[in-house]
Amino acid sequence: MNMITESKAPLLRTLTRGFRRRCPRCGAGRLYRAYLKPVDSCQSCSEQLGHIRADDIPAYFTIAVVGHIVVPSAVIVEQNYHPPEWLHLSMWIPLVLILTLSLLPSIKGTLVSLLWHLSLTGDEKQ
Ligand SMILES: [Zn+2]
C-alpha cells in the first residue's frame, strides 16, 4: 500500500518520529516489535521498515551522547566533592547503563528515520 506519489514529511518531523520510536512515514505505527527489532512493515501505513539497516551507527551515537553527559558530570563531582571511588562507581555505572539502554532505541529510530528519509534503505543496490 505504498503511495509512490506521496511526498515525505520534512526532515525534522521525520527524525522526531524516529526518536519517538514511531514510523518515519506516518508517525502512528510502532517502529519496533521488540527492544531494537524493527517491525517488518508499519501497522498503520504498511511502509516497509524491516529492511532498513543502521548497523553500528546507533551504538556509536549513543556512546557519544552518554559519554558527553557522564564524563563531565563525573569530573565536576570529583572536583567539587572528592567522593570515594566506590561512590563514583555506584553512581556512574548505573547511570551509564540506564542512559544507554533508554537512549539506544530512540537514537536508532532517529537514524533509521534519517536513512528512510534519504531513501538509503538498502534497495538502491538493485
Ligand atoms: Zn507508518
- Could you give the CA distance from residue 41 to residue 44 in angstroms, rounded to a whole number? 9
Q: What distance in angstroms lies between residue 49's CA and the mean position of ligand 1's atoms?
A: 9
What is the predicted pLDDT for the residue at 27? 97
Q: What distance in angstroms lies between residue 97's CA and the mean position of ligand 1's atoms?
A: 30
Q: What distance in angstroms lies between residue 60's CA and the mean position of ligand 1's atoms?
A: 26
| pLDDT bucket at 35, cuts 50 / 70 / 90 | very high
Q: Are 14 and 109 in contact (CB under 8 A)?
A: no
pTM of the model: 0.88
Is the pLDDT at 3 greater than 50? The verdict is: no
What is the predicted pLDDT for the residue at 122? 79
Determine how many CB atoms are found less than 10 A away from the CB of residue 38. 22
All structural domains of the chain with their residue ranges: 11-119
Q: What distance in angstroms lies between residue 41's CA and the mean position of ligand 1's atoms?
A: 8
What is the predicted pLDDT for the residue at 6? 66
